[in-house]
Amino acid sequence: MTPRIVEVRKNILKHNDEVARALRTRFAESHVFVTSLVSSPGAGKTAFLEKTLTLLREAHYRTAAVVGDLATDNDAARLARSQALVRQITTGTLCHLEAAMVEKAVADWTLADLDFLFIENVGNLVCPSAYDLGENLRAVLLSVTEGEDKPLKYPTIFHSADVAIITKMDLAAAAEFDCAAARANIQAVCPEIPIIELSSKTGAGMNVWLDLLVSRIGPR
């Protein structure tokens, strides 16, 4: 008997997409703007998030963060210094966050008490790209020490992002980082993505990033 072919057309990540959609609805109803951060390990996500949370707090915005990591809660402890509400998701061996993990992490939070929620993904430039977390904005970080050609090697993650952020600009000269080449490479894989250069350490360029965030929720 020859096999019979049955057409299916089923989205493989249907379950994740459904949870993400429900989250996005919940975020919208609570008027909280949700940003996720993706990058390779060591690109400076946590330092960037700590600075972002601190500056938003100084501007009287209410913030919280969910932090994914393979092991340890070091990142959550660092971020707690900003006095934002922080929750760690330890993923064990899983190399990316999925929507259900975010759903569980924020389950008992009153989201309506927040203006901004940040989701720091596990450091990985490949795996997180396919998983919708219900976020409104996805930022991909590239640090000057990683080299200018990262976007060419990992185009998919740049395609999944809404904004590209070049971090550790204070080290650009020491790393002999060619910023024009990096920008050209980002634009080669993703022609219209906005690019922001900044240093979480010195704060240079952070105002551009904060302006972008604040512009998305309107005046308070």
Spatial separation of the C-alpha atoms in residues 89 and 73, rounded to whole Å: 8
147 touching other proteins, by CB under 8 A: no
| 8 Å CB contact between 109 and 86 | no
User: In angstroms, what is the minimal distance from the CB of 57 to other proteins?
Assistant: 34
Q: Tell me which stretch binds other proteins (CB under 8 A): 18-26, 56-64, 119-127, 164-172.
A: 119-127
By CB under 8 A, the count of residues binding other proteins is 40
Query: What is the C-alpha separation between 118 and 52, in angstroms, rounded?
Result: 10
Contact 119, 16 (CB under 8 A): no
Is 168 in contact with 144 (CB distance < 8 Å)? yes
Q: Report whether 115 contacts 63 (CB < 8 A).
A: yes
Does residue 92 touch other proteins according to CB under 8 A? Answer: no
Q: Mask of contacts with other proteins, 1-40, x by CB under 8 A? A: xxxxxxxxxxxxxxxx------------------------
Map residues 177-196 to x or -, x wherever contact with other proteins holds by CB under 8 A.
--------x-xxxxxx----
Distance in Å, CB of 9 to other proteins, minimum: 6
Q: How far is the CB of 192 from other proteins (least distance, A)?
A: 5
Beta strands in 108-194 (DSSP E): 116-120, 137-143, 163-167
Cα distance between residue 85 and residue 162, in whole Å: 25
Which residues are near other proteins by CB under 8 A? 1-16, 94-96, 98, 124, 126-130, 151-152, 155-157, 159-160, 185, 187-192
